[in-house]
């Protein structure tokens, strides 16, 4: 169900927007494209609004230009129930910005759905989450003036200051089954990943296995993935981590609602 054309452009980027329900940018049925469940038919509930601004964000209209329609919990559940899937992916933007995400996850759990939450790892909430798909943002994600898609530069320092919250990361790792999914461009990212993993292993009270660390090639188009995926696959083998494709990009390029 496309809802982005029925847009409310009030920015939901830095706070919970309040009110009933959630700001929904897209709600659609597709295949999970990334991570350990790649290929699984799933319903995607994409909220609008993010507390970060990755320059390469593949969901521009949930972050740089937040666009959404507000949907009630009942409307969201009715749309989810209309699709033949047992898996629901709550994504964004950053879905855990919104308190309403907890009520949605509780309702989905009561209906027996498997839920994945795609999060940047800077916010922890208590909710029934089957898989926390955490994508900590590396320094290479920061929108420096030469990479800022809006050309304004106002987000560079805000993003850099907020992109890693070790306390929130540790709480998520301790409370949920997780996959740590890093967007990688080249070898330059690996030392930072290693350092962050070492810090997180020191901070968390549970073990973090290398097999739960996934390297994903940077790229929101087939053309860009063709430039990055080969070397990222080699990096996964060199460092003993898992490689994850971006199946939806391979299948549908950068089409919306995929």
Kindly report, residue by residue over 178-197, the tens digit of the pLDDT.
Answer: 999 999 999 999 999 999 99
Phi/psi for 121 (5° steps) reads 85, 15
Integer Cα distance of 197 and 173 in angstroms: 12
Phi/psi for 27 (5° steps) reads -145, 115
Three-state secondary structure call for residue 23: strand
Integer Cα distance of 92 and 120 in angstroms: 10
Residues 249, 228: contact at Cβ < 8 Å? no
* Across 69-83, 98-112, 244-258, least confident range: 244-258
The reported pTM is 0.92
Tokens 């940077």 sit at which residue?
218
- Whole-number pLDDT of residue 215: 98
Domains, the chain, in order of start with CATH, read 22-252 (3.20.20.70)
- Whole-number pLDDT of residue 8: 37
Q: Is the pLDDT of residue 9 over 60?
A: no
Exposed, middle or buried, 5 (CB in 10 Å: 0-12/13-18/19+)?
Answer: exposed
Integer Cα distance of 234 and 241 in angstroms: 10
Q: State in Å, rounded, how far the first CA of the chain is from the last one.
A: 11
What sections of 26-155 are H helices per DSSP?
A: 73-81, 100-110
Kindly report, residue by residue over 78-108, the tens digit of the pLDDT.
Answer: 999 999 999 999 999 999 999 999 999 999 9
Task: Pick the more confident residue, 3 or 68.
Answer: 68
Q: Is the dihedral of CA 203, 205, 211, 213 positive or negative?
A: negative
- Whole-number pLDDT of residue 258: 86
Residues 123, 108: contact at Cβ < 8 Å? no
């Amino acid at each position: 169900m496309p809802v982005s054309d029925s847009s409310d452009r009030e920015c939901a980027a830095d706070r919970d927007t309040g009110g009933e329900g959630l700001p929904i940018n897209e709600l659609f049925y597709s295949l999970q494209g990334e991570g350990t469940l790649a290929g699984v038919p799933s319903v995607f509930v994409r909220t609008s609004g993010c507390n970060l601004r990755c320059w390469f964000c593949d969901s521009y209209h949930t972050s740089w230009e937040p666009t959404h329609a507000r949907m009630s919990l009942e409307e969201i559940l009715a749309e989810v129930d209309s699709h033949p899937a047992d898996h629901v992916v709550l994504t964004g933007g950053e879905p855990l910005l919104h308190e309403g995400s907890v009520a949605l996850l509780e309702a989905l759990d009561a209906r027996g759905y498997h839920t994945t939450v795609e999060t940047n790892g800077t916010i922890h909430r208590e909710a029934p989450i089957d898989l926390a798909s955490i994508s900590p943002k590396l320094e290479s994600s920061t929108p420096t003036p030469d990479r800022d898609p809006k050309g304004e530069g106002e987000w560079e320092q805000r993003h850099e200051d907020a992109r890693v919250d070790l306390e929130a990361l540790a709480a998520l790792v301790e409370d949920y089954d997780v996959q740590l999914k890093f967007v990688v461009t080249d070898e330059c990212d690996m030392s930072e990943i290693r350092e962050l993993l070492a810090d997180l292993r020191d901070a968390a009270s549970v073990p973090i296995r290398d097999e739960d660390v996934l390297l994903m090639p940077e790229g929101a188009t087939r053309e860009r993935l063709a430039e990055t995926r080969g070397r990222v696959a080699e990096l996964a083998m060199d460092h003993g981590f898992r490689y994850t494709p971006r199946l939806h990009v391979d299948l549908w390029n950068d089409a919306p609602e995929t």
